[in-house]
Amino acid sequence: MIAKAPDSFTIALAQLNPVMGDIPGNLARARNAQAEAHAAGADLILFSELFITGYPPEDLVLKPAFQKDAMAAVEALAKDTANGEPAVLIGTPWVKDGALYNAIAYLDAGAVQATTFKVDLPNYGVFDEKRVFAPGPMPGPFAIRGVRIGVPICEDIWGGDPVECLCETGAEILLVPNGSPFDSLKRDHRLNVTVARVVEAALPLAYLNQVGGQDELVFDGNSFVMDAQGEVVMRAPPFEEGIYACEFARDAHGKVVPRAGQVAPELADEASVYSALVLGVRDYVHKHGFPGVVMGLSGGIDSALTLAIAIDALGKDKVQAVMMPSRYTSSMSLDDARGQAQMLGVKYSVLPIEGMFEATLATLGEEFAGRAPDATEENIQSRCRMLLLMGLSNKTGRMLLTTGNKSEMAVGYATLYGDMAGGFAPIKDCSKLLVYRLARYRNSLGRVIPERVIERAPSAELRHEQKDSDSLPPYEVLDPILEAFIEEDLSVDEIEARGFDRATIGRVLDLVKRNEYKRRQAPPGVRVSRRAFGRDWRYPITSGYRR
């Protein structure tokens, strides 16, 4: 028999940053959060999807020892609820009858009271859950301290069936634990989906998302509470950890309604993307235990933005910038790189590559005899720089940041084992046009990039008076073509219908397809678009398809 509902019921949303595979550490984070929720008078605390292990665990979750450790941690946490502490809903892998599930465990009165399993397993984009989990049965609500609470897990609200089943079995509130990765369009998409479920169910909903970086993925938090009319009545700050309490009460008709709380402002597009890049770099470096980073600073826009991101993520003391001039490096580049390093107070080194370049050309002189200079000599310069940067990385333990952008990565305008080398690529998923917008955005908060770097024509400076436009269409043409093909999967005919020249489209797409082998060898980087090169881009290296 369900106890009489209290006048009010407070739910704490734990918008936290778990560490993948650190089960003891995540258990400690959960205990600290539970204590904070208890001090705030919460009746229940909700943790995000697979919080106890971190999300997404990929094939790590298939290890039996990993599964046992996760379940043991949940059972240990359950014992903490024996003395009147808040009840707990926490995400965990769970094995039942020989099947592995993506589960939420309900903990109260010192024990695991019940579990519910994710029904709809996403298997698109960055998700591979059907590879590792079994789909659960249609869920019913938990009776938690007098309130019937439905817990659809993440993808379960993107289709209507699990929520409909919860409504039909008496749910009064929907609590949705998520591991929903950030992309630049995701916030509005999430909100639209959630409004649709709320309107169909006529129930209030609390949407909890994890925060933090996990390899290429960044989770933005952006947790919120919505009333049964689809209005957001509370929103947590994006990209920030915290325990956010929301109070619910019964109205005159006996329905559970949320009381209004603080609604954090939404970030503008560039602010969201920049925040994701900073968080992604910070967590990749910190969670791997690197003492800092080293990177090349060329005087160009890509490395200038990367330096700003690195310092915002880690602090200037953990960043080393290195200018590596050659015979083709302009005085403008030297001045701007030095000026930015001085402006930001970062450790700055100048290591010329001219001697290495000349020695390499001399060594290859007989092999190259009778052949005109071409991109080979340009690539040798880039690889000389890689040797210096990797030497610094190895000697200091600092990770090498790669400074290339998505436009370059798409068409192969980058040197394998040269400027593509490194441990992490912060702006790998940022088009060139987005790089410029982000640079202007960051300068609007306080100038960190010399204005001339933003205004000058981009150049790799690997030959005399070189410009990117010598080899590529203008970025105002290139980037929309790339976005249409990579993120929207449009054909040549469909892209041409948008007003682009067919020959230019063909040339660009041919470059994309011919350079897949390079992208397979590139470092990971922060995903900020609908489709990044990495987890959600799986094209064959060898392919004869040309449409």
Which tens digit of pLDDT belongs to each residue from 157-180? 998 899 999 999 999 999 999 999
Strands of 251-335 (E only): list them.
256-258, 293-296, 319-323
Q: How far apart are CA 238 and CA 209, in angstroms?
A: 10
Partners of residue 249 on adjacent β-strands: 8, 257
> Residue 419's pLDDT is what?
92
Q: Compute the CA torsion angle 286, 288, 291, 293 (nearest 10 deg).
A: -90
Q: How far apart are CA 207 and CA 152, in angstroms?
A: 10
> Residue 197's pLDDT is what?
93
Token representation of residue 191: 């909100």
Catalytic residue from among 85, 129, 154, 461:
154
Q: Is 63 a catalytic residue?
A: no
> Residue 331: in which H helix or E strand, if any?
helix 331-344
Q: How far apart are CA 127 and CA 56, in angstroms?
A: 8
Nearest CA-CA partner of 129 in 109, 103, 152: 103
Partners of residue 150 on adjacent β-strands: 174
pTM of the predicted model as reported, rounded to 2 decimal places: 0.94
For domain 8-266, which CATH number applies: 3.40.605.10, 3.40.50.80, 3.60.21.10, 3.60.110.10? 3.60.110.10
Residues with pLDDT less than 70, the chain: 1-6, 461
Let me know how long the chain is. Answer: 547
Task: Provide the phi-psi class of 205: left if phi over 0, else alpha when psi is between -120 and 50, else beta.
Answer: beta
3-state helix, strand, coil in the chain (%, to 5): 40, 20, 40
Q: Is 167 a catalytic residue?
A: no
Nearest CA-CA partner of 15 in 248, 155, 220, 231: 220
Token representation of residue 343: 């402006």
Domain boundaries, the chain: 8-266, 271-469
Give DSSP secondary structure letters for 335-389: HHHHHHHHHHT-EEEE---HHHHHHHHHHTHHHHTT----HHHHHHHHHHHHHHH
Catalytic residue from among 118, 406, 428, 518:
118
Q: What is the pLDDT of residues 358-391, one digit of tens each?
A: 999 999 999 999 999 999 999 999 999 999 999 9
Answer whether 110's CB lies under 8 Å from 98's CB.
no
Partners of residue 348 on adjacent β-strands: 321
CATH (residue range 271-469): 3.40.50.620
Nearest CA-CA partner of 388 in 440, 313, 482, 325: 325
Hey, how many other C-beta atoms are within 10 angstroms of the C-beta on 513? 17
44-46: strand order across its sheet: 111-117, 99-108, 87-96, 44-46, 8-15, 242-250, 256-258
> Residue 461's pLDDT is what?
67
Q: How far apart are CA 512 and CA 411, in angstroms?
A: 5
Q: How far apart are CA 502 and CA 525, in angstroms?
A: 31
Q: Is 49 a catalytic residue?
A: yes
> Residue 464's pLDDT is what?
79
> Residue 167's pLDDT is what?
93
